[in-house]
Structure 1
Amino acid sequence: MHRRPGAGPTGIARSWLRPASRRWPGEEWQLLLKTHPDRFTELEAHLVAHHPWKNPEVFAVAAVAGAEAYLGWVAATTSPLPAAE
């Protein structure tokens, strides 16, 4: 389905959850997914469609610089899969 070079939990985040005017402490797992900017919209749609929350925390953080070889690897490993014939 989605190709991405790296995915993994960053750990438990303790935060104050505030849905519908109520506020309480909560814990949630944060997941870091690395992909090419051209693939973000597709990945976002998949995450939102399959997440149990109505408004999951999905956002992108741009890599403004990085090792050339690594960024090339990200681009290569996140390119769309060839169509099945």
Structure 2
Amino acid sequence: MATEIVIAQTTIDDEEKAQALALGPVEARLASCAHIDAPFTAVYRWKGQIETAKEWRISFKTTTERLPELEAWVAQQHPYEIPEWITLPVTGGSDAYLAWVVEETATA
């Protein structure tokens, strides 16, 4: 069976923290790369109140095999009480790019 690729996402309210959350998993080969989106305004309900915050979205490209370790790493490093963590299956793409994701997340 071919290795499955996923995009995992989280958000954070500080650009420097976004940089750190993006860099760590790439250095540890838990993700082949991470994209940090430009800041946006999040509107959400938290503890009974409507909140707004400026946040950055981090999207990691990884494999289903590395996903549990990536999720644990982000959960440990993330300062939010309940950080966003969602995963999106990659259902297609360039064979060369998908192979690169697999290669860059392979354990030594």
Question: Tell me, which stretches of 5 or more residues in structure 2 are unaligned?
Answer: 1-26
Distance 1:51 1:7 in 2: 15
**TM-score, normalising length: structure 2:** 0.69
- Runs of 4+ off more than 6 Å: none
The answer on 1:37 being equivalent to 2:64 is yes
**TM-score, normalising length: structure 1:** 0.86
Aligned residue runs from structure 1 range 1-85, under 5 A: 2-3=28-29, 4-80=31-107, 82=108
Q: Which has the higher strand share?
A: 2
Q: Percent identity between the aligned chains? A: 28
SS in 2 for 1:14: strand
Distance 2:38 2:75 in 1: 20
SS in 2 for 1:38: coil
- Larger Rg belongs to: 1
- Please, what is the CA RMSD of the aligned residues? 1.3
SS in 1 for 2:37: strand
